[in-house]
Structure 1
């Protein structure tokens, strides 16, 4: 098994592995949604490729989790929270169809979950209650940027939180700001997957999720930390008549935005060859790495195809039609 773990660490975009795997290698990958389904980046295939390796070596299962509705926790007022929960729930379901195609085309065993699959389970909120009890809301606000933003939970539209009110008494969260709930919610999802689906590893970008991973590890779940993707940001005006030059910026693998030159599941082969394959572009280079790793892990071996063709093979895993 040590040799297997070392093989996992040799995947180019795997930065760290914690956890022994003694109880198995089922894994989950928590992710968000892009503002538009057409801007879903192929970067997020990093976790799926790791899951393919785990399945190949151990027969494990994989559970992508789309938590777009969590975004409502950043809302400033009850109306905005309700509207955001509604729109993000629809976005969750659209992305679920995309990732179901990916799972099928990659031959991955498991199931794609969305926010309300967990929030409509009272067991989730039982776990959440215990996690929240173990955390100090004021300490969370000091540790996590923006956790004191949003609104106080005594103002939040609790009806948008699934079965929460069936489990948690009124007043329990009054000292919390809504944005601060990200930490107990993220930890709860990991424990829920452990208890419900036998998950022993969380897969995700290491740098941007480290604040959650530290607490998740304390709950007996291993972490497979992935390299944070990068893209080349366009040159912009500095507002004073000058220019801020194009520069490489880090991003998250599962959220794409307009203006980012990244490879998206909506791209065609011409988009990739003309717009994405720029000299030194880190996003395209990462896509090539993902494509070559997937080819090796899935047993297809080296390909004689051009780089745009290799990358387009990743795009096609989404099933097209975006």
Structure 2
């Protein structure tokens, strides 16, 4: 028994310096960040804007690999099953880690157990916009009109089971209104139909809507949080609907089992990038408010958000078609 204990202690004594040395040498080759959405989309643009600064902080090339499909679960699963060596990282969002598993069957990862959180990147609010010819000019008028004509008004989303869809369902519950959901395959067709008057309402992020709002092609009624892109648009709370504050968040994760020292090195690099004035300006201009925090704080966010959105999905009865 004593001999076994001494052997275990000896192995630990040898392994600890080795692990420390490996962490100090990290990264010794390029790092790949998997974006679980198509190239050219909002999440892809956000991460590509951060990659050069991360590369500079880590003194190593940072590559982007787009693995889209199944509401972001294909790319997220690829990260979950990658070697936990710090060279394959992933982008986690409200959609991929708090919503998708509640609506997508057969996803091959657990959002709380399959990843090592590195840190939050930022938050983006949701804006409620309407077709330009909709009579309602304020949120209060919209709610009044919707209650006066149940089942008449429609709201578009960027896809069945998407966060855009779920926030619309939340809005229906919060206002006790009956709106008809019309799902589209992406933001572009949803916005086109909204501008053409085929649908009445849409929930989406500021960056994808600001040009149409500025051009008068759609009108903004309220947003879940104040956005630097749309300072003139009131929050839902300011417009009379308190507690309606859901946002899209972005974060960086590694596969579960990645060395703590490596995670800490990545987290510190991310925090330095997010503290840079140029990075902050770039994020704000894309409608994203930079976040701060440690891996533990990001883990706490995940622990709160996963059951929260699972309950939203359950209460709304949303299923994938």
TM-score higher than 0.5: no
TM-score by length of 2: 0.29
TM-score by length of 1: 0.29
Which structure has the larger Rg over C-alpha atoms?
A: 2
In terms of fraction of residues, the more strand-rich structure is 2
